Structure formats: C-alpha cells, structure tokens
Amino acid sequence: MIERDDLDMLAAEFVLGTLPIEDRQRVQRLRTTHPELDAQILQWESRLSALNDEIEPVDPAPGLFARIERSIDQLEQASSQHNEVVRLRQQVSRWRLSTAATSIAAMLLIAVMMLEPTPTKSPYVAVFQHNDEQPAFLLTVDLARKQLNIQPVTARPAGNQSYQLWIKDDELGPTPRSVGVLNEHFEVDPAALTNYDAELLRRATFGISLEPRGGSPTGQPTGPALHGFLYPTGEGADTNRL
Amino acid sequence: MASDHPVTGWLHAVAEKDRTAFAELYQATAPKLLGVILRILKDRARAEDILQESFIKVWQRAALFDETRSSPITWLVSIARNSAIDALRKQPVEREGQESDIDEIPSRSPNVIDRIDDLQAQARLNRCFEELDKDRADMVRLAYLNGWTRDALADYFEQPVNTVKTWLHRALKQLKRCLDS
C-alpha cells in the first residue's frame, strides 16, 4: 500500500515534473480514479504556481489562434455530423502529442473517429496517413460485432517488411499492444478485436507501423515514424483536416 | 476572490462552447502559457504546437474547471506544463539548453500578467524558497520551470540520483510546511 505521505510526494513530484516517465503516466491514470491523489495534485499545483510569475510571456505567432480554431471547427463539425464521435476530443489531443513525438514513437498514432453505426453507413473510423499525402490506410471497426477491416488507400506492399496494427489505451498499459500483422493483401484477422470491450475500443488509439517481415521482433513498434491526419468521414468534409 | 477573476468567467463560458470567450481567454493567457512551454521545450515551433494542443484541451475540458479547487491561471498553466513536460519526456531537448537554464535561475522579473496572479502567494513562496538551501531551491526551480529530470539534476549537482530524490522530497516537504502554515 502506498502511504499517505508517499502519495503526497508522488503528487508533488508529478507536479514538479521529476517523476520517471512510467511513474508519471501511472499518476496520470491513477488520478482519474483516485480523488485523494487528484486533490493532492491540485494542491501542489496551487502551492508552486507562484513560480510561474518568474516566466516572461511570449507572444504566439499571429496565425496560431486561427489554427486552433480550425482544429476546433473540425472537432465540432465531426461531432455534429455524426451523432456520436466517441471521445474524439481526447483522441485528437493524444494524436497531437503523438505527432510531436513521432520520431520516438516510431509508429503512427492516429486520432480515431469511432462512429456509431448509422442505418446506411458502415461505422468507420481511422485514417492512417503518410506524410502529407493521401491516406495510407483506412481502418473500419464495427463496434457491435467487433469486426475490423483495413483498406489500403495509397499504401503499397511493404516488400520485405510487414505492416503491423497496434492498439493503445491507458487500460492496456503504457505501451501499444499488437492487434496483428497485416498479410500481403493488407488483411488482418477481422476478429482480432473480439477480446476488447467496446468501451475500450471507442477510446483507444490505433496505429500502424512498418516492421521487419512477420512483425516487430520486440513486441513494440520499431518501424519508421509517420504522421497522421484526421479526416472527417462525413460528406463534404474531405477538404478539412487537422 | 477567484469567482471575480475574468479568466474564471471565460472558462465557464468556454465550457458552454462560447467562441468569443475562448478568443478572449486566448488573448489574455496564451502569451503566458507559451512562455511556460517555451522555457521547457526551448524550440519555438514545437512550443507553439504544444500551445495549440493545450488550448484544444482547454476547449474540451473547460467544464471540468472547478474554481473552488484551482485558480483559473493555475489550472491553465497546469494543462500547458503537463503537455510540455509529457512532450519533453517523449523527445528530450539537446543538453545545450542547460547552461542558459542556470542563468535564468536568479531572475526575478514580475511583469504585467502578474497582476492577475495572487501577489501574496508569490511573496509567500519567495519567502519559503529563501528558507531552503540554495542548491535545493535551485533544484526545485530547474525542475518546475525548465523541466529538468532527476538525472539531469544529478549530473549538474554531481550527486547520485537517489540523493537528488531525497533532496527534492525534503525541499518539497519543507516548502509545504512553510506554505501551509
């Protein structure tokens, strides 16, 4: 058991920023379910906040607010076009983070739009994008049946290498988990997500990395870093991107 | 009173998806948040990406802001700092930044934005910092303001990492006693 005093130091070092990365991520997960820890974090934020008075303001580039508004437009548009964009916002912020860190992440972590099935449409989903070009893959997930389908858009066969699909969610731990290695027809077991509950799938982040043939030898993505962009899947939305 | 703070009003309005309030909030606070992020990440373009990410989070999470638990500025700065530190941990900056970090330590330059902060809190924190050994006060500042890890502090102060951790804990406990008294 964690002693109260230890918990307080955990909160203090979390706020200070000196926790090792694994502990930091653990605290971020724990605070959502442990009100006491969350309260201690808020108290430490408050105690140390006057340190920020030492920091000189810096004016952002003039166009930055417009960029932010466009991102938000995109979010709002997506959620109004579709009745349910489950936890999209969180996905987008994670995606933002991941693009800043892609060279480390060595995979593309993409914001995933998980849409409820509509009578006329398949419940689709994630866009995996290569550089600034057309999407490389589209991932479709039917949440009711937990069936997944991957469609290559511009992705080309990887020759001696393999594409590998990953899922990441706090509940699954700090590192991505392999969903499966795509075969030469870009297929992966459609039932590969059966063991995940729908709620987790809705909030999870998916990624595709390029790995040595047969899949990552380490169990973690090792392939090249790629960038991803979120595309709304609704009509008339194809010109917007985040 | 926190509830009289204009930023609190903007945050409540942003929680209702008020774009005008969001723009006003940005105008008033973005430079401060960028200052916080830039001090940690050093790189201007990267810092602006994280600022963008932070404001998207603000838009999404404004409804979670609770003025009885945080001051609005503290809440905003925490979003920016956490985003910046997470980004830094995932992709550390070059070590060259550290000498300039040291130079920044003694600087005390209150500026206009300070008026919206609690000046008493600032004075109290300064007083409590003065009670710490200089090395320990510097450690806390370098960690908080510049995002230094325990390892970086250990290198700079030429101490084992465990000693750094012990010093940090002692300094934090001492600060807490002083601030809460």
The answer to whether position A116 is within a domain reads yes
Asked if B90 lies within 8 A of A75 by C-beta distance, the reply is: no
Question: Greater confidence, A11 or A79?
Answer: A11
Question: Greater confidence, B78 or A220?
Answer: B78
Query: Which one, of B13, B12, B19, B16, lies nearest residue B67 by Cα?
Result: B12
Same domain, A24 and A119: no
Same domain, B37 and B87: yes
Residue A94, token pair as written in the block: 């994670």
For residue A5, what pLDDT is reported?
A: 78
CA-nearest residue to B91 within chain A is: A101
The answer to whether position B111 is within a domain reads no
Rounded (5°) CA angle A202-A203-A207: 95
Per-residue pLDDT tens over the stretch A57-83 = 999 999 999 999 999 988 777 655 443
Same domain, A107 and A187: yes
Same domain, A94 and A192: yes
Backbone φ, ψ for residue A139 (5° rounding): -110, 125
In angstroms, what separates the C-alpha of A72 from chain B's closest C-alpha?
A: 7
Of B93, B126, B150, the residue that ends a domain is B93
Cβ–Cβ < 8 Å for B33, B51: yes
CA-nearest residue to A68 within chain B is: B52
Same domain, B3 and B44: yes
CA-nearest residue to A14 within chain B is: B82
Q: Looking at the 3D structure of chain B, how many domains does it have?
A: 2
Same domain, A166 and A189: yes
The answer to whether position A145 is within a domain reads yes
Same domain, B6 and B81: yes
Asked if B70 lies within 8 A of A45 by C-beta distance, the reply is: yes
CB atoms within 10 A of CB B63: 12
Q: What is the CATH number of the domain that holds B34?
A: 1.10.1740.10
Of A32, A54, A76, the residue that ends a domain is A54
Which residue in B53, B78, B125 is closest to A97 by CB distance? B53
The answer to whether position B171 is within a domain reads yes
Query: Which one, of B100, B96, B104, B87, lies nearest residue B41 by Cα?
Result: B87
Same domain, A79 and A34: no
> Is any Cβ of chain A less than 8 angstroms from the Cβ of B46?
yes
Query: Which one, of A82, A94, A80, A83, lies nearest residue A242 by Cα?
Result: A94
For residue B171, what pLDDT is reported?
A: 96
Return d(Cα A195, Cα A120) in angstroms, integer. Answer: 27
The answer to whether position A219 is within a domain reads no
Return d(Cα A96, Cα A206) in angstroms, integer. Answer: 14
Instruction: With H, G, I as helix, E, B as strand and everything else as coil, classify residue B35.
Output: helix
| Residues of chain B neighbouring A92 (CB-CB closer than 8 A) | 56
Which residue in A24, A46, A76 is closest to B89 by CB distance? A24
Asked if B143 lies within 8 A of A18 by C-beta distance, the reply is: yes
Q: How confident is the model at residue B35 (pLDDT cuts 50, 70, 90)?
A: very high
Same domain, A114 and A21: no
Query: Which one, of A193, A104, A207, A208, lies nearest residue A161 by Cα?
Result: A208
Query: Which one, of A123, A121, A97, lies nearest residue A110 by Cα?
Result: A97
Same domain, A72 and A135: yes
The answer to whether position B174 is within a domain reads yes
| Residues of chain B neighbouring A71 (CB-CB closer than 8 A) | 52, 56
| Residues of chain A neighbouring B56 (CB-CB closer than 8 A) | 68, 71-72, 75, 89, 92-93, 96
Same domain, A9 and A102: no
Same domain, B4 and B86: yes
Same domain, B1 and B65: yes
According to the 3-state scheme, what is the secondary structure of A140-203?
A: EEECCCCEEEEEECCCCCCCCEEEEEEEECHHHCCCCEEEEECCCCCCCCCCCCCCCCHHHHHH
DSSP secondary structure code for residue A61 in this structure: P
> Is any Cβ of chain A less than 8 angstroms from the Cβ of B43?
no
- In terms of residue numbers, what domain contains B73? 1-93
| Residues of chain B neighbouring A24 (CB-CB closer than 8 A) | 85-86, 89
Residue B55, token pair as written in the block: 């404001």
For residue A216, what pLDDT is reported?
A: 85
Write out the H or E segment, with its range, that includes residue B157. helix B150-157
| Residues of chain B neighbouring A59 (CB-CB closer than 8 A) | 31, 34
Return d(Cα A61, Cα A46) in angstroms, integer. Answer: 29
Asked if B87 lies within 8 A of A97 by C-beta distance, the reply is: yes
Per-residue pLDDT tens over the stretch A84-96 = 333 433 444 454 4
What is the distance in angstroms between the CA of the first residue and the CA of the last residue of chain A? 43
The answer to whether position A228 is within a domain reads no
Same domain, A114 and A186: yes
Q: What is the CATH number of the domain that holds B156?
A: 1.10.10.10
Which residue in B55, B74, B140 is closest to A49 by CB distance? B74
| Residues of chain B neighbouring A111 (CB-CB closer than 8 A) | none
| Residues of chain B neighbouring A93 (CB-CB closer than 8 A) | 53, 56-57, 60
Return d(Cα A9, Cα A13) in angstroms, integer. Answer: 6
Q: Which parts of chain A fold into alpha helices (H)?
A: 4-16, 21-30, 35-48, 64-81, 88-100, 102-105, 198-203
Cβ–Cβ < 8 Å for A176, A166: yes
B6-10, B77-81, B118-122, B131-135: lowest mean pLDDT where?
B118-122
Rg (CA), chain A: 20
What is the distance in angstroms between the CA of the first residue and the CA of the last residue of chain B? 21
Per-residue pLDDT tens over the stretch A172-183 = 888 888 888 888
- In terms of residue numbers, what domain contains A46? 4-54
Same domain, A47 and A79: no
Per-residue pLDDT tens over the stretch B115-146 = 445 677 788 888 999 999 999 999 999 999 99
Q: Looking at the 3D structure of chain A, how many domains does it have?
A: 2
Same domain, A127 and A196: yes
Same domain, B74 and B129: no
Same domain, A136 and A100: yes
Same domain, B58 and B140: no
Cβ–Cβ < 8 Å for A221, A106: yes
Q: Which residue has the tokens 């050093």?
A: B42
Same domain, B4 and B85: yes
